[in-house]
Structure 1
């Protein structure tokens, strides 16, 4: 969607009472936001009130809420409009300018305008550079990124390397050292130095948890540069070697999204061996539906049943439990792809699916269980199955 005319009626507050009230709304929203059981829809209205009264930080919260659909329906146009409003604030910083430039660059909530994006990126860069020269670590990283990608300025590999090196020297985090290692390995902005890159890689692997290694992989994963994609694969592999079932499953999800089925299956199976129920159900789906692989009902049933047995209907998402049971029933009903037709097994799993669905309906509607257990009678289910199989 593209914004043609602003849908936001906004008047900046200038009197001290309004400013104080806006701050009160913002602080209340922040307080609710970090409560243990809070929901986004609980604090969004307060952020919106504060934003409408000119509170800069509240406006940023509103922008992100509309972009993410967090506490409000996603609305790219409103996100763009609020971002423009925020850039008019006296408090405007590089972050919000960077965000507005990105919206123009990608045409999110507005018409794509590369020229406008470049101009705004240039303004953001000037602010980042000022902060970086005054020792702000985050700004240093952004300056390196701007030089590397040519955001609002000409690309400058040497300066990108210099600022990346400064960040790494100052904070010595896995992420900063991994970036520096990549520059040494590829000779980006500096003389290629394999010994130095190997030394840094070893240091990162030694100091980082599986979660941190996964985060490093994510930093490289979504680049269009083939070499950076290879870096992502390196770090995903290392994260999986160190990781628990969840990390390994997350690596599988990345390859799944990249449509690399063989790699995705490899990591899903590793996660399943370690007891990850989601990985088991996903593998079941792969073999049942034949997602870029040959259908194999024997394997699909094995993974589905294992997920159910381990989950014991608690860890297994109820919203999907009935679908799994229906799929198992369907496979036994039709046979083939590695199994014999088995009508009695089909009936048993169809019964489970019906009961599971009834349980979900009861929970959703808050109907008394005793009054609803008669919703589905065994004879009715049997008739339905016989009709389905005939």
Structure 2
């Protein structure tokens, strides 16, 4: 019922408008005289605008449409009189009834915006259409908006496109921009990229930022035009110089990578700095990284922290991690493990696998929080499931040693395997042990050898030692004393005590190497100094069989070897015994 009433009301108003247009289309001769006097006075002088106003007002009151338009303009813009929207609307309406197209447009626009009159989309549509069909570009633009948004009419993108096109033909800049966008969005029912490019180029040349960006993107992608990186950057620059922050970021990226322009890190930095004002968390993070690394600007960990913090506050996951690192290591801000943990946790909850690992390590070692092996295990598990190799290794070790969780060799094997497949040498060695000793998997010396070899080739000392043992025993591989000596020596040089003892025995027995009592003594002596009880006993026997000069020379050799080991491997791993593996005889 209400809907029918409104339709009848609109029809009634439309009839009233048409009648009004007819009845008020004429004015008397005196009105025209006042109009001519006002125009003449305005041509002669730009001052005495009060006199202009009075003459226009006299003509307007006598029904002169152009004078009514001028009076409306005075009230609209606050010229001579105080700006008053309602008075402006009333005079525009008077002129609109007298067929003034511009006034009809203003009436429609004011109904559309609700300025000077109660907002009414139906009446806005009516007046705008009257002006639009008389080729008023502004009215055509607003009419297109109404069809696009479905305001007082059913949404009709084809009609929106039609009116944008009509307004653009008359050089309406905003319509040209939206026409280009309409082509791009497919309002015309045709995805003609060539036309999209042509219309957007037209509005881009008139300074429309959206179109400048779209033209740049089309040159970049080759949609509707041949790929041209230089032209792409040219248009991004034009949009960037108008303050468009997304375009500024594009220009910054171009200078950073040398795409379409000569690489220039200083210019890249300057554009990132301008783009960061747009409050993009990603740009702020990038700027923080440039400050941190000193790229295109002087290195400043303080500025890096400042920009990363701004980005982190907007939930940029990378920036949250960097802020956490800054608090952790005291980079640009004082060390604060609790604050570091706060930011690591934020990033971790949002899926940052490295932050998850750092949360785990915090609980593992009690950094910024009380040590808790159970919570450490939980966080390591979260990271491990995302493929973090160190966390996968930790889970394997924790499950093997019942650290924060019940011992479970089967699960330990699974996690060792996951890490080993990512080429982690420690996990490969542990997987080798699992196959060798049958922990979580059936004993298989061939597979054990395979995994020990992978780790050994990555210079893992215990894996090298195990290869020496397996070549010596012929476990999982053909017996080969030369290969046994080769791998055992590599482990011995990395301070594996049992390997040092076995090398001493090899030199003593001539196993895989020519016999050499001095080198035998030297290596046995090194193992003894590193705490090997077997070596201490054996060194006693060797002293009986060597003269004082040989012992002195052997001790000198021991000293030289020890110094070499210390220089090559400064970390003390002297207590890394491999239990269950017998010394080679």
Q: What range is the shorter-chain TM-score in?
A: 0.3 to 0.5
Larger radius of gyration: 2
Structure of greater relative contact order (alpha carbons < 8 Å, 6+ residues apart): 1
> How high is the TM-score relative to the length of structure 2?
0.31
